[in-house]
Each structure stands twice: as structure tokens, then as C-alpha cells.
Amino acid sequence: MIPGVFSLQDIILFITDMISQGYLGLLIICFMINMIPFLSPSNMVLAGAAVLLLPSFNPFIVGFVVAISATTAKLVHFYVVRGSRMVLSQERLASLDSEKKRVEKWGPLALFIAAASPVPDDPLIVYVGLAKYSSVKFLFSYFTGKVIVTTLGALIGYGVGGYFESMPIVLASIALTALITGFLCKRKTEGESSDMLQTNLEAEIHDDDTSADKAAESNDSEEGSG
């Protein structure tokens, strides 16, 4: 769904319809939402809203499904960033590889904290991806942190839904409205930061290409003088 083309009500209705399809629908919509880089909303709220919408959902299964969706989406981001190493210069790669010991030491804890807290995890995923961190270790650390927070969100939704038995759907709609509104505000405030990051990356690639061209010209001139 594209903000600006679809209204807030349309987005909420689409998410609600997907969740209403059951665990598979929940898996798909959470994956789609988490595929949005730097802007994906809270999975804890998503898990809680899912249980509020469908009280028959098992909160532990909901937490597991949402965590699987989020982890899979972030793994895609991880591999995309890791693949971007091929456009970097040898000097840049050497600088990144020099950070590998630090990443190996602190990566598991940092990924766990980022996944289990409101701390933005995309910059960390970019960092560990560029440093060629182990994908298996990434999966374990990130999923462990994420499943804790999503299960907690689902249990909170289950408890709130049981306390307000007469209006779980209303509460779920409020939660989704707050979620999407926060996403739109985050998109507005962080959009410029994402653009700046892309500009910096393009500038670095351009600088690397320029340095390579200059080195080639220097070698050609040396050979010519020789």
C-alpha cells in the first residue's frame, strides 16, 4: 500500500482483512510491512492487534509467526546489503573487514537488543551485512530477540482483549490506527535521512570509481614514460 494513494482507512482495512485470513495472512502482511526499509512499524503492536482482532488466535503462535515474518524480511535486507559489497573498492572492503572481530564479539548482543527493543535495527543490519557477519548467527540472534517482544505484544493483546471483551475489534482498530499514523510520521521525519544515506552511498561509489580511474591513468602514464 502506498501512502498518499491509499487513505489511512484503506490501509487499516487491508491489514485487517489479511489478518482475518488466519495465521498465513498474518505471516504475509507482517512480511510485507517489515520489507519496508528504515520505516517498518512496531511488530509488538502488530502482534497485539492480531490477537485483538481474532481472540481465537493462540498468542504464542501469533508471536512466533510475527517474529518469523520480521526475521525473514530483515534477512532479505541483510543479503541485499551484503551483496552491495561488490560495488565497493578494495580499500573500503579492507576497512569493513577490519571491523569483523568487533562485529563477531558484539554482533549477537547488539542484534538481540535491536530486535527486542524499539531501537532502530536497520542501521545495525546494514553494518553487520557489510561486515559479512554470519547469516546463521544473524538469524539466531535477531529471531530470539524478536520472538520475545512479539510474544509479549500478543500476550498483552490477549489480556487487554479479555478485559474489554465487548470491544476487542475497536481496540485493534485503535492500535492499527496508531501504528499506521506512527509509520507515516516516521516516514516523513526519516525520509530525508534515508535519502541522505542513499546520496552518501552513491557518492562513495562514485569516489571509488574516480579513484580507480585515476589509478589506471597513473599506471598508463608510468608505462608510457617507461
Condensed to tens digits (0 to 9), the pLDDT of residues 122-144 reads 888 988 888 888 999 999 999 99
In a domain, 196, yes or no: no
Q: Quote the number of domains for the chain.
A: 1
- Supply the pLDDT for residue 2: 46
Q: How many CB atoms lie within 10 A of CB 68?
A: 17
Quote the cell numbers at residue 176: 492499527
In a domain, 46, yes or no: yes
**The pLDDT value given to residue 158:** 84
Which cell numbers in the block locate residue 16? Answer: 485487517
Please report how many Cα atoms fall inside a 13 Å half-sphere around the Cα of residue 77, on the Cβ side.
Answer: 27
145 within a domain of the structure (yes/no):
yes
Q: Which region holds residue 42: left if phi is over 0, alpha if psi is between -120 and 50, else beta?
A: beta
Note the pLDDT of residue 60: 96
pLDDT of residue 58: 94
- Per-residue model confidence (pLDDT) at position 62: 95
Domain that holds residue 126: 8-188
Answer yes or no: is 117 within a domain. Answer: yes
CA 171/CA 67 separation, integer angstroms: 22
Predicted local distance difference test score (pLDDT) of residue 77: 92
Q: What is the CA radius of gyration of the chain?
A: 22
Q: Is the dihedral of CA 42, 47, 48, 52 positive or negative?
A: positive
Instruction: Assess if residue 219 is contained within a domain.
Output: no
In a domain, 204, yes or no: no
pLDDT at 65: 96
Residue 80 within any structural domain of the chain: yes
Q: How far apart are CA 24 and CA 28, in angstroms?
A: 6
pLDDT at 3: 47
How would you classify residue 22: left for phi > 0, otherwise alpha for psi between -120 and 50, otherwise beta? left
Yes or no: say if 92 and 71 are a contact pair by the CB < 8 Å rule. no
Residues of the chain with pLDDT under 70: 1-8, 39-40, 161-226
What is the model's pLDDT at position 63?
A: 95
